[in-house]
Amino acid sequence: MYSKFRSLLFSLEAEQAHRLAVGAARLAQAVAPRVIESMFSYSHPSLHTSIFGKQFTNPIGLAAGFDKNARMILFWRKMGIGFMEVGSVSARRSKGNKKPRAFRLPDDRALINRMGLNNDGAERIALRLKRHAGILAFPVGANIAKTHDPDIQGDAAVEDFCISFRTLAPHVDYITLNVSCPNTSDGKTFEDPNVLDRLLVALKKERDEFVRRIPVLIKFSPPERDSFVLDSHFDELLLVSLAHGIDGFVASNTASDWQNLTTSRTLLEKIGNGGLSGPPIEKRATQLVRYIFQKTEGKLPIIGVGGVASGEAAYAKIRAGASLVQLFTGLVYRGPGLIPSVKRRLVELLNEDGFGTISQAVGRDA
């Protein structure tokens, strides 16, 4: 069914197609939630897992960027997703970069985007989340980033993150700090140990004042190579994160350097710059999961994301050290049917290896 709808979507410009898909999903969640559930939901006891003291019916989640503004929560729940991450959300509402800013690379089943953190802003999104309080029924995280404005720098940038934290933390199960967005207006990320340190000092104060202990994760960029082994810069980032009591990691964001592509140079030159996602970044994202798992001795949960388009790819992330896995680009190419298909295959793969639960497989190849 999705293949027909996909032909229509792929005849449109990528962002227009996304808007149409979101519209269709919102309509479906309003008029036929039971139908979606009966068509797509699939559950199995071996997929159940518990992370940060939260129960997940399955480890397959929606990555940040797909439902930035928290408009389709019910739809994702009915689709049988195990958890979702809204955002990136910034303190102030932002339109993001000029369009076009999202591009499909069908030959690689990949995407390139330079959305530039377009979102409705922390307050509106918090209100939407508040409306779902009590009926969420699955863990929801908020991914926060600095407002897309080159004038917000230094202390103001740190405060910008703090505002989003304060506004969203009461309504979500975890917070992810997007310190690795490759599409900021000033071209900078927070992946500098000193800058990250300042941010985490300020956020620790916020966390200490907050009524409950909310898990805070950090989302990093993928390494430059598939064969990433050791990187002292990355080690410093990890050390800073651990020193400030970070609860887990998300690996990884899109890649601003493009590799493993068969797409023609002419098309790539026409696109310009942006973050690459999908199968071409799968190996490096998995390698980063493995590296973090090894360095932290498997003590902190890792969400694996990057190029997952099959049960095998999700399982590879889990065996490398991911406790949870997220989808984005795979959903664009395979449609929402990817969710039950990944879950079914995961159950088979766990079974073949003699594991009764996801947690038994985590880090087996690390």
Nearer to ligand FMN, 228 or 355 (CB): 228
Asked if residue 325 lies in contact with residue 308, where contact means CB atoms within 8 angstroms, the answer is: yes
Site string for ligand FMN, 311-330 (x = CB under 6 A): ----------------xxxx
Nearer to ligand FMN, 143 or 189 (CB): 143
Nearer to ligand FMN, 254 or 296 (CB): 254
| Count of residues making up the chain | 366
Residues in contact with ligand FMN, total (CB under 6 A)?
Answer: 26
Q: Does 278 bind ligand FMN (CB under 6 A)?
A: yes
Burial profile 86-122: b = 16 or more Cβ within 10 angstroms, e = fewer: bbbbbbbbbebbeeebbbbbeebbbbbbbbbbbbbbb
Which residue is at the shortest CB distance from ligand FMN? Answer: 65
Q: Does 256 bind ligand FMN (CB under 6 A)?
A: no
Q: Which of 129, 143, 126 is nearest to 88 (CA)?
A: 143
**From 77, 104, 219, 283, residue interacting with ligand FMN (rule: CB under 6 A):** 219
Q: Which of 301, 264, 242, 246 is nearest to 54 (CA)?
A: 301
Asked if residue 231 lies in contact with residue 223, where contact means CB atoms within 8 angstroms, the answer is: yes
**From 223, 306, 340, 363, residue interacting with ligand FMN (rule: CB under 6 A):** 306
Site string for ligand FMN, 63-82 (x = CB under 6 A): xxx--x--------------
CA dihedral angle for residue 314, residue 315, residue 316, residue 317, rounded to 10 degrees: 60
Query: CB under 6 A: which stretch of 62-70, 72-80, 203-211, 264-272 binds ligand FMN?
Result: 62-70
Specify whether the backbone of 121 is left (phi greater than 0), alpha (psi in -120 to 50) or beta: left
**Which stretches of the chain bind ligand FMN, using CB under 6 A?**
63-65, 68, 87-88, 102, 111, 113, 115, 143, 178, 219, 253-254, 277-278, 281, 305-308, 327-330
